[in-house]
Structure formats: structure tokens, C-alpha cells
Amino acid sequence: MRYSPSLSPIQLLALLAVVGCSGDRVIEPTTTERVPSTITLTPNNVSFTYLGQSVQVSVRINDQNGIVMPTQIEWSLGDPAIASIGTDGLVTAVAVGSTTLTARGLGLTATANLEVVQEISSFTVTQGDNQEAIRDSTLADPIAVTLTDLGGSGIPDLAVTFLPGSDNGTVSVQTASTDANGEATTEWTLGPVFGEQELLVSVPGQSISVGAIARAEVPTPDLAVVGFLQLSSAAPTSLETVTVTGRVANLGDLASGPTRVSLTSNTAEIGTFNLPSLEPNDTTELAFDVGPLSTGSNELALITDADEAVVELFESNNEVTRSINVLDQAEANLDVPITGLSAGINTEMLFRVNVSGPTTLTVSFTAPSGDADVYVSERIRPSSREEYVGCVSTGPTSVESCQVPFADGEYHILVHAFDQGEPVTGGTLTVTTSEALVPYDIEIVYIDSGTQSQEDAFTAAATRWSQIIVADVQDRDFSSNSLPADACINGQPLLDRNVDDVVIYVYIGYIDGQGGTLGSAGPCVIRGGSNHTSVGVMRFDDADLVQVEARGQLEGLILHEMGHVLGIGTRWDNADLLINPSLPDNTGADTHFVGRNTIIAFDNVGGGAYTTGSVVPVENQAGPGSGDAHWRESVFNTELMTPFFDRDVPNPLSEVTIASLKDLGYGVDLTQGDNYFLPPISASQQAAPSASAGQGALDLGDDIWDENLYVVGKDGQIRKILR
């Protein structure tokens, strides 16, 4: 027997009974009538927070078996003025109040509570803010505020309180109810004080401020500190003074008369100035040299009319403040060790010492634990550790030594607990002037040897540079992290030993034959922290080198290229000393070198006559491989480190070039320069294209080594690749 799965259990039993009684006769099943049993209204409480808000309600009617019965619903509201409802059950708030929502269908009825309130969404001043009037007089415009709900409808019948500040006058109505548009008003009569006055407007849970300016019946001065306090140093030390500069103005319409301006630090007065008088709309700038200040945070305040001697329009603009952080710095005395020094990871200890010279200044630091590095700067304390270039010692332990030759004057010392090491404890700093200089060592390693006379030229150049650079730099040990073979140039062997101070790999062999590429040179590995060259490369075409030697220019050529290895022209950019470079696409720019010592040296050789650009002028016409890496040919002419090597005349290594090494952080002897003075050329010649020289000059263009440049850490490991 088969049956329809759509039959209910009752229908199925009836069918079985019929079949059982009638044998083979089949009786059609009867249908049971569906009866509406329940009605559900969702939600059963409908609430609104602003007029115009809509909420969708729905109704479901189920029969006796729980099955939904579709039907048309009849909607009604107890008070149609409170809300409206569509045939689809969308209810919209119309007015504040409460009522009942009723839904009817198939003889069943359901109800829901419905309530409309207006919550404050916007509370604004719509009239009367920022007015001006004579003190003790009523403002021209009433003060009006408006409160609206989220739908933008005004909220009526809200109590609004108007409360003037102390001595800020009175209002005509202290408490007012909002009208149908949500607006409340009052009239404000100002108080007797000059300047800014305030009226506080409040409703339960919220308040806003209304401002007004009370002016005098007669002309009145108004002293003010305008702008910001300027500081000569945002982070001076506890041994340094700082210049604080501020501007005082009279914004009123009457001369101020005598008054006093005060500068305070953490409320204690540290400077004062008696201002005779200031005319209307006049401004004066005041500078205070103060300090040393207390270590830590100092709140500076510049206060005009500090004694309140002047009756002013405003008092609130008489003071400007600024915070300044003062670093701790200790005075170091020669030959007197400072002991018991400790520093957490990545923290700095600052010291200062005065030296009467010229003499050799030696700064040493030792500690039984941790890893500290030493940085020294001459005359001016830099704002960051990276700018300490007087001497840098960044070994892998807390045994550091740094020497400054020909020291004279004030020196700043920074001891840094390495950020990847351990805290420093029990350290000792010693500053002396009695130790001999440790010489600077240049090691030459030939990958492909040249002739004896060529090698003699390399030796002579190394000797000359070692006479110029007279102070040792920190060793770099590659024993634990070796420099791979061929990392700098093909044929370079594995480097797995200590380097003191620089090793230069020299290749003299075939490049492209006579008349092609002469050669190139530059650093391959530099020290992290000081950027001094650890490993350099010099490469020459042997056929061209023979021709250069025949012209008598070999020794000068080698000296020039070895200067590039040490960093002349090749480290200017990453030391932030090269300004407005001409490369890659700014040919003819006013490219210049801004090292302080180099600028002084430039003036010493006649640079004061250079008037067509910034100093010190750098080659800006020669293009890639030479531009931005030599002194400008049209200005320096025969100087050794220009892009051309002149024939049959001296090519002197000048004080300017040596000073550039000092700006790069080398300890140098400035007296080792050749006799040199800038040629007396006209302004038009100075501005002329530079990349040319006299007849027969050797073009050193494209002589900058531009392969990989590695930065190694204190353990010899490569930390980054600059190119």
C-alpha cells in the first residue's frame, strides 16, 4: 500500500480505517480545517529617540499545528498623532509621547507599547557667540542655543541654564525652556573685567561655553607673548647654557608704560627684563641666556607684565610655556679617572673636558662587563650620536680608546651602552694628554701586481696619507665573520683576520686596453658607527698605467685614487655632508660640501673670493662616476682632488682636502698639505661648466668604484649593503 506523505497522521488513520472495512475499495481522504491559533508581534515594545525615525514591525500567525498562515494584517495606533504606520508595518515617529500599536488578522489581535522620546544629538550656540562690547554693558545680540535630536528636529520644553563666570556679568534669564524649535535665549550683560568673559550654558548632562570680549571705555594696552619660545638647544646638558628667545607685543591701543618681563623654569625665576614701554602694535624680541638648568624636564615660562603693573585688556595672553629636557653631563678632568660608571642598554653618558693645546687627547673607557662605545666631538656638542666625528671607537667590548691629534679647546665625550650588548657596570673613563699617537696603518694587497716602479708609487701614496692621517681608528676583526672571497673584486682572497686600519686590494691588469677605462677606486667595506673605510679597492688598466707613468703622473694618480678609498668624494653623501647633488639628473646644480673644517680651510686658501654659489663647491658637470665626488674643476683648477690631473704643473694636495677627512672623522695633521691657493678667476669663470681642464690634462672621470658597499658591525658581520 502507498500513501501520500502530505497526509497528516489523523488523515492517515482515517484512510487505514476505511481501507480495512471496505476490502479493495479505496476511499478519498478527508481534509482537516486549519485554525488560526497564535499571533506574534515583533518587537512587542517599540521605542524611538528622534522624530522621523522608523522601525519595522512584523506579525506572524500560526495555525494549530504551528504552521504560518499568510494573511493581510490590519494596523492601528491608539494615538495617531504619536506615530504613523504603513500597510507594510513600517512605523515612523511623529511626536513625543506613548501609545499602543495594534495588529489584527484572522480574528486574532496583538498589541505593542510604542514610545517616542527626543534624545539630544546637537547642542549648539546659534547666536551671540564671540561678541565684543564695553565692559558692564549688554551685548547687542541675545545669546541663543538650539538643541536638536538626531533627525534634526528641535527639542522643546528642555530647561536650559545660563551661568556667567565670576565677575563676568549677569543674564536676563537664568533658566529658560526651549521652544518648539528647540531654542532658548537670554540677554547677557558683561561684567567689569577687561578681556575674555565666559557664559556657561547647561542642560542635564551637557554644557557649552559662550565667549565675549569686554573692552574698555578708553584706549587700553594689551601686552602679550606672541608665537613660541625659541631655544638654542632643545636638549642642553646640565653644564651648558641655553638661549631662550620670545616676542612680546602690545596688541592694545595705548602704550603700555614700564613693565617687567620674567622667564621662569619650574616656576623659579631665572631671567628678567625691564621693558620701558611698548607702543600699540609694536613687538620686541627678548633673548635670555640661562643655565645651566637642572637635569630632567624643565617647564619654561615667559611672562610679560610679571608684576601686574599694567591694566590690560587681556591677562590670559601674558604667558607662553615650553618644556625642555636637560641631559646630565659631567665634567671630566685630565688624568683623573671617573669610576663606577654604569649604563643600561642603549643609554648614553655625557662628559665634557677642556684641553689647552695643541696636544694629543686620549679618551679611554674600560668596564668589566657590557659593551660600551666612545664618541668624541670638538667644540660643539652634537644633537645626535651619529654627528660625533672628532673620534669614534666602537669595539666589540668595553675596552675603548680614542685619540684626537692637535686637540685644543672644549671637547664633548659620549659613552654609549651598545643597544645589542649587555648593560655596562663598573666602568672607568680616563682622559689624558700624555699618550703618544697610535699611527694610522694602510695595508696594500696586490691581486695582480704591477711593475716595481708602480708598486713604489702605491707605497709612496700610502706613506703620504699616513703622514696626513696621524691617528689610529678602531680595528675591525673579521675572524668570526669573514669577508667572502671576491666580495669586493674578483681575485680578492677570503678576509678572516683583524684589519688595522684599512686594507686596500689593488688590481693592475687588463681592463679594456689602452685608451679605454683607466681605472677606479673607492671603499668596499666601511665600519658601522664611524663609517671609516675598512676595505678598499683600486683597479687600473696596465696599458693605461704605463702611459700615465711615462707622462710623470703616476704618483699623483695613485695618491688621488687612494684618497677616494679613504672616503674623499665617496663617503660625502652617506655622511650627510654633500648638499644639492648634481646626480642623477640635476647637472649644474649648486652642489657643495658643508663640513665645518673644510669651509674654514676653503677660506684659508682664498675661498672668500668665491661669490657665485655655496661653499665648498663640488664638481657638478662631470656626470656619473665623477660628479659629486671631486672639487669643482673651474674653482680649484690644479688641486689634486678635482676630476682632472693637470700635466707639467704641480697638482697639490691642499689643506681643503685634508680638512674634508677631518670632517669625515679622521684624526689629521692639517699642516701636511701642499702649498696651494685658489686661482684668481672671475665670477664668470667660476660659474662656467666645470668638466674641462687645460691641454694634456688627464681626465679622471668615471674613477669612482661603484660596486657593492658593505657596512660591517663591530664583530665584522655585514649589517647592510648601501649599494
Q: Partners of 566 in the beta sheet? A: none
| C-beta of residue 116 within 8 angstroms of C-beta of residue 94 | yes
DSSP state of 616: S
CB 570 within 8 A of CB 630: no
pLDDT by residue (tens digit) across 291-313?
A: 899 999 999 999 999 999 998 88
Which pLDDT score, from 0 to 100, does residue 191 have?
94
| Amino acid at site 139 | L
CA 238 – CA 331 distance, rounded (Å): 10
pLDDT at residue 720, rounded to an integer:
87
Q: Is the pLDDT of residue 218 over 80?
A: yes
Predicted local distance difference test score (pLDDT) of residue 687? 52
**SS3 of 562, please?**
helix
Full-model pTM: 0.71
Q: What is the pLDDT of residue 31?
A: 57
Give the confidence band of 517 by pLDDT, cuts at 50, 70, 90: confident
Residue of 574, 569, 559, 613 whose CA lies nearest to 591? 613
CB 146 within 8 A of CB 124: yes
Helix (H, G, I), strand (E, B) or coil at 405: strand
Q: Pull the grid cell for residue 246.
A: 620670545
> 3-state SS of 159-208?
EEEEEECCCCCEECCCEEECCCCCEEEECEECCCCCEEEEEEEEECCEEE
Note the pLDDT of residue 692: 55
Selection from 38, 174, 40, 17 nearest residue 103 by Cα: 40
pLDDT tier at 27, thresholds 50, 70, 90: very low
Per the structure block, which three cell numbers stand in for 562? Answer: 687612494
User: Cα separation of 416 and 674, whole Å?
Assistant: 38
Region 359-371: mean pLDDT is: 94
Question: DSSP for 90-155?
Answer: EEEE-SSEEEEEEEEETTEEEEEEEEE-----EEEEEE-TTEEEETTSB-SS-EEEEEE-TTS-B-
Could you give the percent of the chain with pLDDT greater than 90? 76
SS3 507: strand
With a cut of 90, say whether residue 189 has pLDDT above it.
yes
Cell numbers 658643508 label which residue?
594
Confidence of residue 694 (pLDDT cuts 50, 70, 90): low
Range scoring the smallest mean pLDDT among 311-315, 341-345, 402-406: 311-315
Stretch (H or E) spanning 341: strand 338-343
Residues 154 and 182: their CA atoms lie apart, in Å, by 4
Q: For each of the domains in the chain, give its residue range(s) and CATH number, in order of start.
A: 1-30 (no CATH), 36-116 (2.60.40.1080), 122-215 (2.60.40.10), 223-326 (2.60.40.10), 329-432 (2.60.120.380), 438-569+708-723 (3.10.170), 571-703 (3.90.132)
pLDDT classification of 10: cutoffs 50, 70, 90? very low
Task: Name the pLDDT band for 683 (thresholds 50, 70, 90).
Answer: low
Would you tell me how many other CB atoms lie within 10 Å of the CB of residue 589? 18
Least Cα distance to 224 among 199, 267, 195, 266 occurs for: 195
Q: How far apart are CA 261 and CA 659, in angstroms?
A: 45
Query: How many angstroms separate the CA atoms of 497 and 534, rounded?
Result: 12
Asked if 116 contacts 51 with a C-beta cutoff of 8 angstroms, the reply is: yes
Amino acid occupying residue 385: R
Q: Give the three cell numbers for residue 634.
A: 673651474
Could you report how far apart the first and last alpha carbons of the chain are, in Å? 90
From the list 668, 703, 677, the residue with the least C-alpha distance to 559 is: 703
Span 203-223, average pLDDT: 93
Express each pLDDT in 610-622 by its tens digit.
988 999 999 999 8
Mean pLDDT, the chain, whole residue set: 91
For residue 216, pLDDT over 80 is answered with yes
**Residues of 215-233 as b/e, b for ≥16 C-beta within 10 angstroms?**
bbeeebbbbbbeeebeeeb
225: closest CA among 188, 259, 175, 254? 259
d(CA 626, CA 700): 8
pLDDT value, residue 560: 96
Q: Which amino acid is at 376?
A: V
154-174 pLDDT, tens digit per residue, is 999 999 999 999 999 999 999
What's the pLDDT at 515? 76
- Compute the distance between CA of residue 144 and CA of residue 187 in angstroms, rounded to an integer: 9
DSSP for residue 672 = G
- pLDDT band of residue 693 (cuts 50, 70, 90) is low
For residue 695, the model assigns a pLDDT of 62
Look at residues 121, 212, 128 and name the one whose alpha carbon lies nearest to residue 158.
121
Q: Could you tell me the three cell numbers for 250? A: 602690545
For residue 599, is pLDDT > 90?
A: yes
pLDDT of residue 124: 97
Q: What is the pLDDT of residue 21?
A: 37
User: Hey, what amino acid is at 280?
Assistant: P
Rounded to whole angstroms, the Cα distance separating 686 from 426 reads: 57
pLDDT of residue 62: 96
Averaged over 283-295, what is the pLDDT?
95
Find the mean pLDDT for residues 451-455: 94
